[in-house]
Amino acid sequence: MSRRLIALFVLMIPMVLSSSPAPASPGIDLTYSTVSGVVALAPPAAHNWPLRLVAPDYNNRNTSNNPSPQNTPSVAINPVNYFTIVGGFNDYRAAANNDANCGYTRSSDRGDTWSSGILMGITRGNGGPLDYDAAGDPSIYYAANGTVYYTCLAFDRSFGRSALVILHSGDGGVTWSTPSVIVQSDTADVFHDMEKLAIDTSSTSPYSGRMYVQWTEYTNTFLTSKMYITYSSDGGVTWAAPILLSGTQTDAAGASPAVGPDGTVYAFWCSPCSGSTVKIWLSKSTSGGVTWGLPSGIGTFTGVPNPLPGNLLRVNNFPSGAANPANGQVYVVYNDYSSGNADIKARTSTDQGQTWALAVTANKRLADDQFMPVVAASADGPVWICYYDQSYTTMNWLDVTCVRSLTGRNFSFASRANTRGSFDPAYDGFGGVWMGDYLGMSLGPGSDLPRTLWTSTIAGNAEIYTSNPSQ
């Protein structure tokens, strides 16, 4: 993979806030170049967005509330007190490092009000002990005891250093620990990217409390990529030596770990991740992450073209996996382009990933494109999938739709739009090319409705929004 194309997978876009575009250098592709970056435009203050009350019991909330762009969210609900919610995102708000940071948002009233900021101690001038140029790609997960953990990527723009870091909070994101390093590199020949965190919260698991971080490691000046995983059994204080999951594959990406109620760990990824034969892979561990089985292929599908046809949006074909805490079923979802537009596909395994049922189409609105899905299963059994959806307007604007299934096969809760109005990705702050690389979704106790975070431009710039189910 070339240095230019690495921008498809990692937060490497320096921000320049300006009232007009900066001139492009001859021959440089501003969409994906990591050399030139992408200029953020100053959008008009007001827009005539088409409003649509599809889900009148959903009240949208702006959780980041900042004029600079935010995107690529993650979210988790406190299992001890479901009124407490913590989210994270790539955050370009003004900070001492003049670049992206790991942003957070928190609510203590079940999503009615939110406060946000950046995590300190990761980037230059923001408190130490680390001093990287930029940070982002958050992944957030609550432990069973109510401690929330936040992992993200830190790196230098020269690519000379990179690290995966972790912080924790015992008070719902009010205060955060000093960041510590999970894995790091001091050479441009090894780059750690796009980590995902999962925690074993099952009381019936022999490894309850164990934490797992799965990520992509780029080598050979970004020409090759492999999938790794590590675990911690002491709350993230120390981490085991990384284990290679992807074998001889050299183009692996899209990490997605999940933990079953018996402690089985499932690690999903794709290789290759673009073209007409994208393939999903799975490796699993029944020893708490100490040993892992050989990767097994789940199936292939037609990847969504990049950029997304009809606009400039960068998209990916990463899988999203989940394990059902109630019955142990395993799920994987992805966006498939075999019909000529992007649809959300779902596959289910009832035997711990040994065999998989045929793919079903999860989206009930088949017009236009649905993409970037995330899946989660609640302790009560229902499975939810949320995704970006272009089917509500004829202008290639975006909404977020969620669908539900009681079995993982029939997604009968059709077309529940979480958004109160469609929004134009042209106001993303990056010239309409980047709304982030994933959505955030969590299911907590007290309700089987999904808590979703997404990037929206309905306020005129990229902000992190959520939908608040009526209580």
- Write the pLDDT tens digit of every residue in 405-435: 887 777 765 556 788 889 999 999 999 999 9
DSSP string, 173-220: TSS-PPPEEEEEE-STTEEEEEEEEEE---TT-TTTT-EEEEEEEEET
With a cut of 70, list the residues of the chain below it in pLDDT: 1-58, 412-416, 445-448, 469-471
Please give the pLDDT value at position 350. 95
Cβ within 8 Å of residue 357, ≥6 positions away: 347, 348, 349, 350, 409
The answer as to whether 402 is a domain residue is: no
The answer as to whether 180 is a domain residue is: yes
For residue 35, what are the CA distances in angstroms to 3, 69, 241?
9, 20, 33
Please give the pLDDT value at position 411. 72
| Angle at CA of residue 280, ends 274 and 286, nearest 5° | 150
Report yes or no: 1 and 223 within 8 Å, Cβ to Cβ: yes
Distance CA 78, CA 142 (A): 6
| Residue 159 lies in domain | 5-334+415-469
Distance CA 156, CA 317 (A): 26
* Number of structural domains the chain divides into: 1
The answer as to whether 404 is a domain residue is: no
Cβ within 8 Å of residue 248, ≥6 positions away: none
Please give the pLDDT value at position 360. 93
For residue 436, what are the CA distances in angstroms to 212, 234, 408, 453, 463?
23, 32, 27, 12, 11
Residue entry with tokens 């698991």: 205
**What's the burial of 25, exposed, middle or buried (CB within 10 Å: 0-12/13-18/19+)?**
exposed
What is the CATH number for 433?
2.120.10.10
The answer as to whether 398 is a domain residue is: no
The answer as to whether 363 is a domain residue is: no
pTM score, two decimals?
0.90
| pLDDT tens digit sequence for 437-466 | 999 999 976 556 789 999 999 988 999 999
Please give the pLDDT value at position 194. 96
The answer as to whether 381 is a domain residue is: no
Residue 155 falls in which region: left (phi positive, over 0), alpha (psi -120 to 50) or beta:
beta
Report yes or no: 397 and 390 within 8 Å, Cβ to Cβ: yes
The answer as to whether 385 is a domain residue is: no
Report yes or no: 123 and 134 within 8 Å, Cβ to Cβ: yes
Report yes or no: 455 and 73 within 8 Å, Cβ to Cβ: yes
Please give the pLDDT value at position 104. 98
Please give the pLDDT value at position 31. 36
